[in-house]
Amino acid sequence: MKSLLLFLAGVLVGANVVYFLVTGQCLAPGTRQPDAIAFPTTRPAPASKPPAVAGTPAAVASAPASAVQAQAPAPVALSPPVTNSVGTGPLGLLLPVAGIAASQLTDTYADARGGGERTHEALDIMAARGTPVLAASDGKVAKLFTSALGGLTIYEFDPTGTYAYYYAHLDHYAPGLADGQPLKRGDVIGYVGSTGDASPDAPHLHFAIFALGPEKQWWKGTPINPYPLLSAQR
């Protein structure tokens, strides 16, 4: 009996030693040892990060979608297309008299002709008789024609059939020139003269441009002032 009491006392003392080592407390006689020991579950808060500077990748990544859209740059507006500053008409025309500079031209488009009965609607380019006349544009000979007013003339259509170029008062045509002949810009097509109603003392090229109608009639169209188109070549 005494041995049994000593054994139970030893067990109780051993349990108190173990409990004391774990919890720092002695287990009172008759107290049940807990099933489990609770350890702290709260983790320390992470170190705070410095605030992101607006506009940096970190700030954009952490911002809500609406804020990112608000920071996005506005779309760049495209500039409107540049229009021809010299007015309506074909571009890239060659001045059709050899050796004449654009600075020598005078705007005669609105001058009166026929005693004031009509408007000139063309450009007179003064030059010595026999000066080569050049094709102002690629195209083809639409008509070689002789008239009382224009004298020896050439009607040229551009490649698209949009515009016609009229060369008048020629002294003579370039050798071999014929209706329907293809032309390249700068080809010699005739020579300055004073045929028709031009003064023999003032040889010149009468040069006109007109927009063709849907019928593509070589003798008819809407006149366009050649002066701004040729004088722009300064």
* Alpha carbons 134 and 140: distance in angstroms, whole number: 13
What are the tens digits of pLDDT across the range 181-220? 999 999 999 999 999 999 999 999 999 999 999 999 999 9
* Alpha carbons 174 and 190: distance in angstroms, whole number: 5
Task: Establish if 50 belongs to a structural domain.
Answer: no
What are the tens digits of pLDDT across the range 47-70? 555 455 444 445 444 545 444 444
Tokens found for residue 65: 């979608």
What are the tens digits of pLDDT across the range 119-148? 889 999 999 999 999 999 999 999 999 999
The pLDDT value recorded for residue 147 is: 95
Q: Domain limits at 222?
A: 102-231
Task: Establish if 71 belongs to a structural domain.
Answer: no
The pLDDT value recorded for residue 112 is: 83
The pLDDT value recorded for residue 91 is: 86
Residues with Cβ within 8 Å of residue 123, at least 6 apart in sequence: 105, 107, 108, 109, 206, 207, 208, 225, 226, 227, 230
Task: Establish if 184 belongs to a structural domain.
Answer: yes
The pTM (predicted TM-score) of the whole model is: 0.63
Q: Smallest Cα–Cα separation from 155: which of 121, 176, 126, 181? A: 181
* Alpha carbons 64 and 70: distance in angstroms, whole number: 10
Task: Establish if 134 belongs to a structural domain.
Answer: yes
Task: Establish if 32 belongs to a structural domain.
Answer: no
Task: Establish if 196 belongs to a structural domain.
Answer: yes
State the average pLDDT over residues 80-104: 75
* Alpha carbons 65 and 75: distance in angstroms, whole number: 18
Task: Establish if 162 belongs to a structural domain.
Answer: yes
Task: Establish if 59 belongs to a structural domain.
Answer: no
* Alpha carbons 25 and 18: distance in angstroms, whole number: 10
Between 49 and 90, the higher pLDDT residue: 90
State the average pLDDT over residues 74-83: 36
> Could you give the number of structural domains in the chain?
1
CATH no. for residue 153? Answer: 2.70.70.10
Q: What is the DSSP string of 50-104?
A: PPPPTTSHHHHHHS-HHHHHHHSPPPPPPPPPPPPTT-SS-SSPPPSBTT--GGG
